[in-house]
Amino acid sequence: MTTAPPAHDDLAPLDDFLLPLPDAGDGLRARRRAAERRRRRIRWANRAAGSFALAVVVAFAGFALRGSPARTRQPNAAVANRGGRTHAVPVPALVLAQPAPDGSAATLMLVSLNAGGGGHVLLVPPGTMVEVPSFGLEPIGHTLTLGGPSLLGATVENLLGVTIDGVAMIDDSTWTSLVQPVGDVTVDLPERVEQQGADGQVTVLWEQGRNLVSPADVSRLLGAPAVTNDLARLARQQAFLDVWLAQLRRNPLAVPRDKGDVSRFVRGLLGNRVVVDILPVEAVESGGGRELYSVQQAEVEALVRRTMPGIADLGSSGRTRVQVLNGTGAVGLAQRVTVRLVQPPLRARVLFTDNADNFAHQTSEVVFYDRRQQAAAERVRAALGVGRLVFSRIPNDVVDVTVVVGRDFR
């Protein structure tokens, strides 16, 4: 990759930096975008029209470890590190995903390990709305169907500001194999668990309170819809993980060794204290009876700092907020750029991805709106390895930097 030249020689001030985008249309996605814009009260200072969105998560079958975009690292970290940030310590982190019958994600977990043993498990509601590179705002559960494991990995990294080692798919048989060595598990369930048949008849699987769960039933316990809302189902998952990991800690040899990275991460959790959390979210109104959640970003970043300090190198002023616009028309370009920007030491947060005003941009432009953000813009350009800095005199309080990606990006 080519390192970007010094910034002060090519700073190009602009009185007006407008990037009109294609019309948002009048379908469901357009209405979703409009509702999200109203909710966030975003003042677009540099766009005439826009569509944006979010998403994160999984759909899977069988068990497999997928390569993560995090496996590609930036060689010019020293350049991007200007501005006083310290290097993050690499921390093992693995995404675990279990499919629902319709192929969407029923369960999504991020497992991270501490250097001294133990670690953290973060449960993510499948209905969490996040920015999916190249696709905009979507529920996290749709990510795998939109772009496979690499897109899921990039989206998780962008959402949390962490680097993951991979994405592991877990099916029913995998859960059975993982739990079988310890036998039945007694779980204190926060509410009754039901199952509705095709004829509409409801069957009670487990009552509220203490229940004995066999290894063969673990997958159903974790995936069955909750009586109230999906956050209650995640609380059920949390109750199971607490008890199962406690039993494994008393007998570490019970962890199967034939499940690849999943076995390695489970063993790593047994070395010390494990904290299980649910991603901080808030329910949002949605049509069609779907449960959707918005991310409470400040709480998320505080959680990451507290539970994953080795990978939470967010800088004293938090993560640089970036908008990525595709200026070439290349398919998947926003995803590639996002992967580049969320890696250490920059760890930017890509808020929006969309198309630029046209696809004829030869040179990438890194636009900033406040002179105090010039250093951050320089770090963004250093991470890209190409482009020129552009100062826009039109204020923008939504993002710190806009990247218009040109044909020079490789």
Lowest mean pLDDT, pick from 37-51, 82-96, 195-209, 217-231: 37-51
Does 292 lie in the same domain as 158?
A: yes
Does 36 lie in the same domain as 83?
A: no
Confidence of residue 286 (pLDDT cuts 50, 70, 90): confident
Percentage of residues in the chain with pLDDT exceeding 90?
Answer: 55
* 42 belongs to a structural domain: yes
Does 183 lie in the same domain as 327?
A: no
Does 297 lie in the same domain as 255?
A: yes
- Provide mean pLDDT across the span 188-213: 94
Tell me the pLDDT of the chain averaged across its residues.
80
Indicate if the pLDDT at residue 43 is higher than 80. no
Confidence (pLDDT) at 398:
92
Give the H/E segment covering residue 130: strand 128-132
Confidence of residue 279 (pLDDT cuts 50, 70, 90): very high
Confidence (pLDDT) at 150:
82
Does 16 lie in the same domain as 73?
A: no
Percentage of residues in the chain with pLDDT exceeding 70?
Answer: 75
* 55 belongs to a structural domain: no
Confidence (pLDDT) at 394:
93
Lowest mean pLDDT, pick from 23-27, 117-121, 174-178, 243-247: 23-27
Does 240 lie in the same domain as 260?
A: yes
- Provide mean pLDDT across the span 263-287: 92
Confidence (pLDDT) at 178:
95
Per the model's pLDDT, the better-predicted residue between 96 and 310 turns out to be: 96
Tally of domains in the chain: 2
* 398 belongs to a structural domain: yes
Range of the domain at 107: 65-307
Indicate if the pLDDT at residue 384 is higher than 90. yes
Does 296 lie in the same domain as 340?
A: no
* 239 belongs to a structural domain: yes
What is the distance between the alpha carbons of residues 73 and 67, in angstroms, rounded to a whole number? 13
Confidence (pLDDT) at 47:
36
- Provide mean pLDDT across the span 108-116: 92
Residue 238 belongs to domain with CATH number: 3.40.630.190
* 194 belongs to a structural domain: yes
Q: 275, 307, 339 — which closes off a domain?
A: 307
Does 325 lie in the same domain as 302?
A: no
Confidence of residue 221 (pLDDT cuts 50, 70, 90): very high
Confidence (pLDDT) at 12:
56
- Provide mean pLDDT across the span 128-142: 91
